Amino acid sequence: MTDAPGTYALLLRADEAGKIEVGALSVMPIRPGVYIYVGSAFGPGGLQARVGRHARGDGALHWHVDYLRAVTTLEGVWYTHDAKRRECTWAEVLRSRAEATVPVDGFGASDCTCPAHLVRPDSVPSVSAFRTRLHEQCPDHGPVERAGPNDLL
């Protein structure tokens, strides 16, 4: 991962039930299991700066995902340096899995018309299955890589 721009997905695991406040949206109940959050980083510092911040879990609680990150463990990250903004496509592909649900409408999607950029899968899809689905949808999509939490600190 470099400081070039790109799109990423955070695989976040909650070990305990709880709840978080999600900005003005609502209170979101947290259930044990995995959440997948999709974002993009097209500003200064690119993917490395943004994902590194999520990996460390430091900084102010500003975005919806910061509140979720504060009560979960980062298990891994999928990312691409594809020059197009792919976050809405990624979120759509993840939502389209039969058993996937959207925990809170609008989570992470205040700048687009997606239902949400946060998905609750009943199990974590493999990165290779995810790549296949993406390439079916976008044949010109760039490579998707996986990083573990310790690669990012």
Q: Which residues bind Zn ion (CB under 5 A)?
A: 88, 109, 112, 114
Strand partners for 19: 29
CB of 117 to Zn ion, least distance (A): 6
Output the smallest distance, CB 111 to Zn ion, in A: 8
Taking the complex as a whole, the smallest distance from the CB of residue 15 to Zn ion amounts, in Å, to 28
Cα 96 from Cα 84, distance rounded (Å): 21
| Residue 59 CB-half CA count within 13 A | 15
Q: What is the DSSP letter of 142?
A: -
CB closer to Zn ion, 88 vs 138? 88
Among the listed residues 33, 27, 35, the one whose alpha carbon sits nearest the alpha carbon of residue 15: 33
Nearer Cβ to Zn ion (94/152)? 94
The total number of residues shown for the chain amounts to 153
Least CB distance to Zn ion at residue 149 (A) = 25
User: Which residue is nearest to Zn ion, using beta carbons?
Assistant: 114
Q: How far is CA 96 from the centre of its chain?
A: 15
d(CA 146, CA 9): 9
